[in-house]
Structure formats: structure tokens, C-alpha cells
Amino acid sequence: MASLDIVDLEGKEIEKINIDDQLVGQEMNQEILYQEVRRYLASQRAGTHSTKTRSEVRGGGRKPWRQKGTGNARAGTIRSPLWKGGGVVFGPRPRDHSFKLNKKVIRKSKLIALTDKYTQGRIKVINELTFESPSTSQAAAILKNLSLEGRVLMVLDSIEGNAAKSFRNISRVDIASSRTLNTYMILVTDYIVFSKGSLTEMMERFSNAR
């Protein structure tokens, strides 16, 4: 069975915690990761891009010139798609870009991403994160004690507590809970830091999902 070191706020090891092999023992599957990342990014798109058709462009009610005798090509409106400032043919319209994936595929992708970070030694577990009040300097000191460089994902018991408010002021730190954690967030970060409570909750949720 796999295990992780649990450290204090100074980075000193306190104990070890056993982790179910299903969490960090998955085989790499690039296709599943690709599908889930694509689904997540698509769901984040606003889908508000839009262009006007010839019927929506203002003006163009009068025929630019008579049908015959001018030497020009026939024209019925200055809002024709052939004219500058006219309507757009087959342009983008507001729509929902999101699509669904099987829940088992989404769950599998998260486990594969966690396995990848575990094999690289980029998962840390902190025994307890207690903040009497929001303090960015205290949060920065914790990151320094743990020697965490680059982009860091903090998985906390709550995304509304003082700890979350402290870490979210640091630009290179992302905040999540065991429930909001997703594959994309895991893949784009350099290190994942779990609180002991959030890691325990996540293991229980995955074990109950079998």
C-alpha cells in the first residue's frame, strides 16, 4: 500500500498515512486525460461570441442604385455579405460549448492525474492548517518552509475559511476542496498540498464510489 508523509507547518515529518492503491496506482492513459481536460475547458467557455447576419445589420433598406444602366453589378442592399460592413455568412452564434462525459471516465482521469503527481513526489500533506485570521504572510511562510516553488494547488477542508483567504492572495496558488478538485487543476500545478482532513475526505469519497 502506498503512503505519504504528513508534515507540520515547519515541514517536519510527523507521521505517515496509508493511501489506497486505487488513488495513486493507476496506469497512464493520455486519451482519458485529454477527454476530461477538453470537457472541462469547454465548460468554462462563455459561448457569447456572435456576429450579425444581413437581416440584423442596421441600414441597407434602399437599393444602392437602379438595376440597369449604371455599368455596376446588380445590388439590392449595402448590407449584403459581399459588401464591406455587411452581414456575416455562417458566423459564430451564442451557444453552449459544454458536453458530457461518463462519470466513471471523469473519476478515472482524476485518479490518473493524482497518480502522475504522486510518482513525481509532488504531493504534500499538512497535518493541520489553522489561521486565527487571514494572513498572507503566514501562508507565504508555510510555502517557503515546504520548499514549494512554481504553481501550487492547496486542497483544504473549506474554500471559505481563513486558510483559503490567506493562500488565495498569492498569485501562484490555487484553492480547492476535495469536492471541487478536478483533473485540469491537478495537471496544471507543480505541487498539490492536502490538509490531512481534505485527503481523508477524498479517500472516503473514492472508496464509497466503487
pLDDT in tens, 84-129: 999 999 999 999 999 999 999 999 999 999 999 999 999 999 988 8
Q: Average pLDDT for residues 145-169, to the nearest whole number?
A: 91
Collapsing DSSP to helix, strand or coil, 94 comes out as coil
> Among candidates 4, 47, 50, 1, which has minimal Cα distance to 22?
1
Instruction: Return d(Cα 195, Cα 189) in angstroms, integer.
Output: 17
Instruction: Return d(Cα 155, Cα 153) in angstroms, integer.
Output: 6
Q: What domains appear along the chain, each with residue ranges and CATH number? A: 2-46+98-208 (3.40.1370.10), 51-91 (no CATH)
- Strand duo 173-177 + 191-195: pairing: unpaired
- Residue 3: the pLDDT is 87
**The dihedral formed by the CA atoms of 199, 147, 118 and 5, expressed in degrees to the nearest 10:** -60
pLDDT in tens, 167-191: 999 999 999 998 999 999 999 999 9
* Residues contacting residue 185 through CB under 8 Å, at least 6 positions apart: 153, 174, 176
- Residue 46: the pLDDT is 95
Instruction: Return d(Cα 176, Cα 205) in angstroms, integer.
Output: 15
Residue 210 has pLDDT above 60, yes or no: no
Q: Average pLDDT for residues 56-81, to the nearest whole number?
A: 93
Residue 140 is classified by DSSP as H
- Residue linked to cell 461570441: 49
Alpha-helix runs per DSSP H in 20-173: 21-24, 30-43, 103-119, 136-145, 162-167
pLDDT in tens, 121-151: 999 999 888 888 999 999 999 999 999 999 9
Confidence at 209, pLDDT banded by 50, 70, 90? low
The H or E element that residue 73 is part of is none
Q: Average pLDDT for residues 59-84, to the nearest whole number?
A: 93
Instruction: Return d(Cα 168, Cα 146) in angstroms, integer.
Output: 17
pLDDT in tens, 18-65: 888 888 889 999 999 999 999 999 999 999 999 999 999 998 889 999
- Residue 19: the pLDDT is 86
* Residues contacting residue 4 through CB under 8 Å, at least 6 positions apart: 16, 17, 19, 118, 123, 124, 125, 199
